[in-house]
Amino acid sequence: MLIYTMKILLLLLLPILAHAKGDECINEHTPDLRKLCMARQYANSTACDSISNLDLKTSCIAMVRAKHRESMWAIKPMDVDSADTRGDRKYIWQR
């Protein structure tokens, strides 16, 4: 009776589970790229720590740091080309 109930429950839940969002990083072939994708997707720096390639690790940490600054503190990267640096205003934030 219990097994029969479990089968019915599984058949009822299967369509719901089919609509669940899958992991996008599963398609990456190397472990370093998979960890980089996880860090990009979840803005998690612990995934960056386990990357063995130093260039990927550095870019991963910079990307996560920029994503945290953008989302948590609403700090956008400065556009240096459009900055007004005339007069005594030496820095961009001295407008």
Alpha-carbon span 89 to 73, nearest angstrom = 25
Q: Helices in the chain by DSSP H: which ranges?
A: 2-18, 31-42, 45-49, 54-72
Alpha-carbon span 70 to 75, nearest angstrom = 5
Alpha-carbon span 22 to 17, nearest angstrom = 10
Q: How many CB atoms lie within 10 A of CB 78?
A: 11
Structure confidence by residue, pLDDT tens digits, 18-41:
555 556 788 888 999 989 888 888
Structure confidence by residue, pLDDT tens digits, 41-64:
888 888 899 999 999 999 999 999
